[in-house]
Amino acid sequence: MSDESIIPEDNDDVLAAELSLGLLSGDALTHAQRRARTDLRFASLVEDWDIHFSTLTETIEPVTPPKGLFHKITQQAYPESSIRIWHHLGILPAFLGAGAAALVLILALQFGNYMQPETPVASLVAEMVAEDESIVVAAAYVDNSNTLFVEWQVGERLPDRDVELWLVSEGEAISLGVLSKEGKITEFSVPAELQDLLADGALAVTDEPIGGSPTGVATGAVLAVGPITTL
């Protein structure tokens, strides 16, 4: 096959081109795949087309898709789906742990009508779990408001102690504040200088005196820890 002529020469050539492009289905696909495994001439034709088609994209410069493109595609592809809320949030629940998925859903229902554009959309999540699973704390970060929502989901809290949240990045633990005892969900405003550290970091919670660590360094036991996942 040459660059001067890309018109298939015979029926086998047409079939090979269609197989290379992924245009076949059903019995035709099964038949062509079987021939490609057993017929050396036909396999060579398919390989020629694979090489030819691959050269068509060599001059195309890679482009980074705009933020939110996947969300827009899924919203249009599944406008009436029963799991529309997950597509609207830009995620699929299978990607999340149960705790993180529950928190993202709560954000949609509690902090906005999920059918409206102002609904909080989580871009990062984390699920902090104790080694014995006696404590589970979920977190979801909404980047358009720079807010980290954290929910204490499982485990008993000591009345005379506080739980402090830490961002762990590049071997350093940075305090983000103390979890509220009055409500299950605590909102933390993430400073600008820490926002870029979230994507490659982890979150942890520690047992601390009332008001949090007095030294800026964790003084109590690490209760639970979990990596931050980008959606």
Domain with CATH 2.60.40 in the chain: 69-230
Q: Which fold has domain 69-230?
A: Immunoglobulin-like (2.60.40)
How far is the CA of 56 from the CAs of 2, 52, 61, 225, in angstroms? 13, 7, 12, 48
Q: Is the dihedral of CA 24, 27, 32, 34 positive or negative?
A: positive
CB 6 within 8 A of CB 53: no
Over pLDDT 90: what percentage of the chain? 18
Q: What is the band of 81 on the pLDDT scale with cuts at 50, 70, 90? A: very low
More confident of the two residues 1 and 32: 32
Report pLDDT for 184.
Answer: 74
Report pLDDT for 97.
Answer: 52
pTM of this structure: 0.53
Q: CA-to-CA distance for 71 and 88, rounded, in angstroms?
A: 7
Report pLDDT for 104.
Answer: 53
Highest-pLDDT range among 45-49, 82-86, 107-111: 45-49
